[in-house]
Amino acid sequence: MNFNREDHPHRRRNPLTGAWVLVSPHRTKRPWTGQIEKPIPDTKPEYDPGCYLCPGNNRAGGVKNPTYTGTFSFINDFSALLSDTPPGRDDDFFYQTESVRGMCKVLIFSPSHRLTLPQMGPEDLLKVAEMWQKEYKEISVLPDINYIQIFENKGAMMGCSNPHPHGQIWASQSIPDEILKKCETQAEYLKAHGRPLLLDYVEKELEKKERIVYVNDSFVVLVPYWAVWPYEAMIVPRKQLMSMADFSPADLKFLMDAVRILTIKYDNLFETSFPYSAGMHQSPCDGKEHPGFTWHMLFYPPLLRSATIKKFMVGYELLAGPQRDITPEASAAKLRELSDRHYLHL
């Protein structure tokens, strides 16, 4: 009997981090084996007087929002990172500690309380990308800021406490471990091969076509070969962009086209407002060279078989390592087949 990755348990390695994922395709042969549920209606109002992110309302910290009509950003009233943290350090082997400075911002995508990214039009989506770029450029030059994490948690299932369309920025003095790994692996690959790792990876994926979800002039949407979550996806540029500062106006437009198509397909998968955590990994802004680093955006949605059934990282996955049943190839095929017109026909 010969090994077949579509039938037999195997491990797949993430070349960006060195981590492995166990794939058990024999446990489920089809990408869809769960129950079929009726679409969950969207009942959110255009404006919610009790929402602390809606225009003109008071926030949880007591500050009143302006009557904004587009995107809007502000320093998080309950920031996890603070700009005035005093220096401190403990080098004890068991209790090693160092203080860290930073800032956290809330990025509101729209004045409409009911909208999500896949429900927004191209012009309004472009404003979101322009806000991401503007915030990155302004924050990256601040002292004590060495890395900027832009992300969105969508849906109560992902811990989002307010449904108003918004994302966040956490900018820190320290560089997260995941980013340090990716800096190292991409620099090593560039030194060995003379080309950025992710650009070579995208070229191979475009040749194979097994895990491609969508392609436009500037970006490729795909399910990574090493994906952990059932419908995990990644947006990768077709040229090297190291951070949001490198994006041209056309790049911003094509990025949001890719985001719109992917998130519409997510919503159409189970006919629900699909929850996820999404964020972009970009080169640190610490003033050092990070050769080979390529910006990319990651989407980690938890849903597995229906609008209410999620994948839990428990047991073996919590104690040993991640595992998946449905293969990335099957996930990509399912997403690729879905319509890019929203199921609500907005």
Q: Which residues are catalytic?
A: 166
Residue whose entry in the numeric block shows the structure tokens 């990574």: 224
CA dist., res. 340 & res. 320, Å (int): 37
CA dist., res. 213 & res. 335, Å (int): 6
Kindly list the distances between the CA atom of residue 288 and the CA atoms of 9, 174, 193, 214, 285, in Å, as whole numbers in the listed order. Answer: 41, 14, 21, 34, 7
Show the CA angle centred on residue 259, arms to residues 257 and 264, nearest 5°: 95
CA dist., res. 275 & res. 302, Å (int): 7
Signed CA dihedral, 242, 248, 249, 255: sign only: negative
Residue 187: phi and psi, rounded to 5, are -65, -40
Pairing of strands 166-172, 147-154: antiparallel
Q: Which one-letter DSSP state was computed for residue 59?
A: P
Q: Which residues contact 307 (CB under 8 A, 6 or more apart)?
A: 37, 40, 270, 271, 272
Helix ranges restricted to H, 85-144: 122-140
CA dist., res. 25 & res. 239, Å (int): 33
DSSP-assigned states of every residue in 37-52: -PPPP----S--TT-T
